[in-house]
Amino acid sequence: MSRQLDNDNPTIFAPTASATSKRVQQGKASLWASEALSDDEYDYDSASGSGEDREDIDSEEVYDLLRSITDPEHPVSLEALRVVNPDDIHVAGNRVLVYLTPTIPHCSMSTLIGLSLRVRLLRALPPRYRVDIRIKSGTHQSEHAVNKQLNDKERVQAALENKHLLSVVEGCLSTADKRGRT
Q: Percentage of residues in the chain with pLDDT exceeding 70?
A: 68
Q: HEC profile for the chain?
A: CCCCCCCCCCCCCCCCCCHHHHHHHCCCCCCCCHHHHCCCCCCHHHHCCCCCCCCCCCHHHHHHHHCCCECCCCCCECCCCCCCCHHHEEEECCEEEEEECCCCCCCCCHHHHHHHHHHHHHHHCCCCCEEEEEECCCCCCCHHHHHHHHCCHHHHHHHHHCHHHHHHHHHHHCCHHHCCCC
Q: What are phi and psi of 46, to 5 degrees?
A: -75, -30
The answer to whether the pTM exceeds 0.85 is no
The whole-chain average pLDDT of the chain stands at: 79
The total of other beta-carbon atoms located within 10 Å of residue 167's CB is: 9
Are the C-beta atoms of residues 151 and 115 closer than 8 Å to each other? no
Name the band, by pLDDT with cuts 50, 70 and 90, for residue 74. Answer: confident
Q: Percentage of residues in the chain with pLDDT exceeding 90?
A: 62
pLDDT in tens, 78-112: 999 999 999 999 999 999 999 999 989 999 999 99
Q: Which domains does the chain have, with CATH numbers?
A: 57-178 (3.30.300.130)
